Copies of this chain bind each other. A is one copy, B any other.
Amino acid sequence: MRGVDKIFETTSGHVQALDAIDLTVAAGEFVSLIGPSGCGKSTLMRLIADLDAPSAGTVSVFGKTAKQARLDQEYGIAFQSAGLLPWRTVAANVALPLELHGVASAARSGRVAELLDMVGLSDFADRYPDQLSGGMQQRVAIARSLAEQPRLLLMDEPFGALDEMTREKMQAELVRIAAETGAAVVFVTHSIPEAVFLSDRVVVMSPRPGRIREIVPMRLGVDTRRAARTEELREERGFFEMVTAVREALHGETPVTAGPRGVETR
């Protein structure tokens, strides 16, 4: 992504949603986008997915244009709301992309079974979305986004609607799945602990116009690899340090504020 700008024309004038964004995501890397509301996280993601076109600059995915990447189905995508089709069963929802791209029925059902297994919903294949909890729905959406084994996973606040406990479970699961499939992930979130827990790098953005303020690399404890991101991690010291680092990047202060602050966390 090179020098990307995005300007929306509205009735009340221009909105500069993104300004001179440069960002490269390595294969298999997990990158989170974080920033206050309206800073352009979603817009950035939509540009990568070719759901919108940039006003300036170029977006390339695996060396192709974003459009070509979309047509070639190089990525899977998940949104804040699960976006399941309510009239399709869980299995049929997961099968949707396969169906649209002409995968034969037998191959399809095999793949769907595999995916539902992966997200732990094999028993719910014939349920309808409204019979599932929010967390389960989100898992279906993730299974769907993985259906065609994309090398890039785009997720826009996929856990935003979930309660904290479900959310933590889903995070752990996502880490596992991403590791299993080896896909690169671009993940939008509002939650600092979530970003810290999941990511290799956290991209902190600032609004009006949407800019990248800082890219915070995550080095959690000694072992920085994904396998280490277990539940216990959340209670580690390094975790809290990283949370603090992102907090400060986000609040845009050079970290000189006074006040009673535990020295250990620095």
Contact residues of A with B, CB < 8 Å? 36-37, 133, 163-166, 190-192, 221, 230, 232, 234-238, 240, 244, 247, 250, 257, 259-262, 264-265
Contacts and interface: CB of A to CB of B under 8 A. Distances in A.
19 contacts: A36-B163, A36-B165, A163-B190, A164-B190, A164-B191, A165-B190, A165-B250, A221-B260, A232-B260, A232-B261, A235-B244, A235-B247, A235-B262, A235-B265, A236-B260, A236-B262, A237-B264, A238-B262, A264-B264
Contacts of A191: 164
List the 7 closest A-B pairs by CB distance, nearest first. Answer: A237-B262, A232-B259, A163-B190, A164-B190, A236-B262, A36-B165, A240-B240
Contacts of A164: 190-192
B261 A236 contact: yes
Counted per complex, copies of this chain come to 2
Nearest to A166: B37
A131 to B, nearest CB: 13
A193 to B, nearest CB: 8
Nearest to A221: B260
A243 to B, nearest CB: 8
A257 B260 CA distance: 31
B262 A37 contact: no
A208 to B, nearest CB: 14
Contacts of A192: 164
A235 B260 CA distance: 9
